[in-house]
Amino acid sequence: MIKSYRGLIADGTQDTIPLHTNDGKTGYKIVKFELQFYQPGTQSTESIVKIYKVAPAAIDGLIDFSDGTLIAAGFMSGSTSATYPEDIRVIFDNEIFNQDIFVTHSEVAGSEPVNYYIELEQIDLTEDQALVAIVKNLRNEQ
């Protein structure tokens, strides 16, 4: 089963997508992650949207794939000038998780909000798989 989540996220803020269950036997993995301008073609914008397994200590515009809590990152830029076309790039991990995820947005050139769209594949986990996912999540929180 595919579940989708979408939202408009302001610069410097974080959205929480509640996915946790009492037994942890429902897992998810990202199958689609897309970004869309709030006001296409009307303002210059450079947005960085990231998805974390653990709430980050700070919301910033840095993308560090060595961070074990980062499971997706997207960069979107656009300009009102025809010289600089729109550019959108997203990368996401195929890791399975069973806890809440956190979406952050940092606007590099201005303060425009950005739209995001995420599709998650829902996966039934065995008890062992659920425990492994929970332990990995706990390690990332420390």
Tell me the per-residue pLDDT of 73-116, one tens digit each, with 9 for 90 and over.
999 988 776 666 678 899 999 999 999 999 999 998 878 899 99
DSSP H/E element including 59: none
Tell me the backbone φ, ψ of residue 88, rounded to 5 degrees: -135, 125
Range list of β-strands (E), the chain: 2-9, 14-17, 26-37, 45-52, 70-78, 87-92, 101-107, 114-124
**Six-digit token string for 49:** 């949207």
Range of the domain at 134: 2-141
- The whole-chain average pLDDT of the chain stands at 89
Domain count, the chain: 1
User: Of all residues in the chain, what percent carry a pLDDT higher than 90?
Assistant: 63
Higher-scoring residue by pLDDT: 128, 103: 103
User: Of all residues in the chain, what percent carry a pLDDT higher than 70?
Assistant: 92
Rounded-to-integer distance, Cα 54 and Cα 103, Å: 10
SS3 23: coil
Asked whether the predicted pLDDT for residue 138 surpasses 90, the reply is no
Q: Is the pTM of this model over 0.75?
A: yes
- The domain that holds 33 is classified in CATH as 2.60.120
Asked whether the predicted pLDDT for residue 30 surpasses 80, the reply is yes
